[in-house]
Structure 1
Amino acid sequence: MPEIIDAWMQQPGARFMAEPWLDTVLRWTGTARLAPPLQETLSEMDNAGVRAGLLSAWYSPRGPLITNDEVAAVVERHPARFAGIASVDLADPMGAVREIRRCVRDLGFVGVRVVPWLWNLPPNDRRYYPVYVACVELGVPFCTQIGHTGPRCPSEPGRPIPYLDEVLLDFPELVVVGGHVGFPWLNEVLSLAMKYPNFHIDTSAYALHRLPAELADYARGRGRTRVLFGSNYPMITPGACLKQLDKLELGPEAKELFLGGNARRIFNLQL
């Protein structure tokens, strides 16, 4: 089996798991409103054959739900298994830029994630633009969510066109990873991938046998360097996502790239 890298994971604490917007997600997935112990996370990774995971911090308009330092502490304990993805306060642009620099330069984080529905702000909002400048300056990808939302929040900020289209036009050097597939706007997602070489898609929040057919076809063929595996753990385990991997009918090259090669290249992973 090729190396597997999970491009979207969380190691949440009680603060994150208490968020009321999790109700719909937990109901759909049957996940308990309990923060998993770190050893349980590692066991789930081992059971699925996951070599490493990208752990995301979360920042909301009301403050951090998973802090960058909490992520850094997990990475420090298991540097061969995890890398950090930072998150920042969009309402504090200079603070956000300083925090991204600290996370990348001092803590070794490999990307930045902002979840648009959490802020109810699409990614072409001016408050994101200092974040994009910092990502380009430091050479790290900007990660975001595309498509409808599991939580009971507006889905419109996750629509790819016109929002991400404008961002990718304004920042041709910015590497963007759109997570959660992008349903129901698959045509828009794939059109962005064809138009912009720096735009990538991760399959987090989806068991692989439930991927939309258009995305599966793209991952098998011309998009084999542009689609990454992700789980969105603990909302869904990597094992549950990968259970029917063979049904994707990926060839050897496409499978290696999808499972880990693309993530290793895009995030410049050294672990």
Structure 2
Amino acid sequence: MDVSRLKAIDIHVHAEVSCHDPEDPIFAEFLDASTRYFKTDRRRPTIPETIAHYREREVGFVMFAVDMEAGTGIRRIRNEEIAEAAAANSDIMMAFASIDPHKGKLGVIEARDLIEKHGVKGFKFHPPLQGFDPSDRMAWPLYELINHYKLPAIFHTGHSGMGTGMPGGGGIRLRYGQPMLVDEVAVAFPEMKIILAHPGWPWTDESLSMALHKPNVFIDLSGWSPKYFPPQIIRYANSQLGHKFLFGSDFPLITPDKWIAAYDEAGFKPELRDRILKGNAATLLGL
């Protein structure tokens, strides 16, 4: 991935449609609800369509699915499918893997295989959907592997659009998205770069405190249009934390075009634009 040729790097792009497997009927209910919540198109793009979308815009991106089989019963999109697409489009795309921590040692073996044989460059955790407290020692073996390889890991934080409006929130427990639950992970695994996904509302200040306190903690700004950001996000970006924020869209729920257009009107200092849109991500990803 040649950073000089890219206009931006989107660190938060979802794969929601498999090229090989049919749509899971339980996942379909979550997609229906998230479509209403985000007011977006119910038809989700395929992985090849996503690649074409980003290539046309000269925007690099990190893609992942979410393995939430234990927490929801939803059949996952295989990590290998995303890794294969990234290998064939490495000038524009990078693959992160998602492994449900409930899978224990079997999950660790899979993670090592994905790193060593499939070129996966990081990992994605969604504690509310996966049904676990990120500080639970159950997940420690996976963290130890990621820390060993000095790879980044994205943790969903804050409110979850997935499940919003469904009876019982679709069984999703929002408390697992509290950023401070990840603080113990940042202490125990300092070689793992931790990316707190989204502005973290209603715990935004916890994310900011962690990014200020821990050198290995970063924040991606996905899942919200910048015009709706809590004001402290922009205040800290313009002062102490400009090097800690990363562009992420949450595609396909929010497109990179709409996110970047809103960013340009949100009040960030002009000199931060290149750093937040791609420079910080390039450094974190080792590009």
Q: Relative to 1, partners in 2 of residues 1:208 and 1:50: Cα closer, same or farther, differing over 3 Å?
A: farther
Q: Given the alignment, which residue of 121, 127, 132 partners 1:116? A: 127
**C-alpha deviation, 1:66, in angstroms:** 1.9
Q: Given the alignment, which residue of 137, 157, 167 partners 1:146? A: 157
Q: Is the 8 A contact 1:2 1:256 kept in 2?
A: no
CA distance in 2 between partners of 1:72 and 1:64 (Å): 18
Q: Relative to 1, partners in 2 of residues 1:89 and 1:154: Cα closer, same or farther, differing over 3 Å?
A: closer
Mapping of residues 77-156 of structure 1, within 5 Å: 77-150=88-161, 151=163, 152=169, 153-156=172-175
1:125-165 Cα shifts (integer Å, max 9, x gaps) = 1221111101111110111101111122221001122x112
Match for residue 249 of structure 2?
Answer: 231
How many percent of aligned residue pairs carry the same amino acid? 28
Q: Is the 8 A contact 1:58 1:65 kept in 2?
A: yes
Q: TM-score, normalised by structure 2?
A: 0.86
**C-alpha deviation, 1:41, in angstroms:** 2.0
Which amino acid counterpart does residue 140 of structure 1 have in structure 2?
A: L
Q: Given the alignment, which residue of 251, 260, 279 partners 1:261? A: 279
Match for residue 71 of structure 1?
Answer: 82
Match for residue 43 of structure 2?
Answer: 34
Which amino acid counterpart does residue 9 of structure 2 have in structure 1?
A: I
Match for residue 58 of structure 1?
Answer: 66
In structure 1, list runs of 5 or more residues that go unmatched.
none
1:29-85 Cα shifts (integer Å, max 9, x gaps) = 2223323134542453256x4521100132111364221111012213322111000
Which amino acid counterpart does residue 56 of structure 1 have in structure 2?
A: F
The secondary structure found in structure 2 opposite 1:66 is coil
Greater percentage in helix? 2
CA distance in 2 between partners of 1:138 and 1:33 (Å): 37
CA distance in 1 between partners of 2:231 and 2:224 (Å): 13
Which amino acid counterpart does residue 101 of structure 2 have in structure 1?
A: L
CA RMSD of superposed structures (Å): 2.1
CA distance in 2 between partners of 1:46 and 1:202 (Å): 21
Moved more, 84-93 or 196-205: 84-93
Q: Is the 8 A contact 1:225 1:262 kept in 2?
A: yes
In structure 2, list runs of 5 or more residues that go unmatched.
164-168
Q: Is the 8 A contact 1:58 1:114 kept in 2?
A: yes
**C-alpha deviation, 1:107, in angstroms:** 1.5
CA distance in 1 between partners of 2:225 and 2:285 (Å): 23
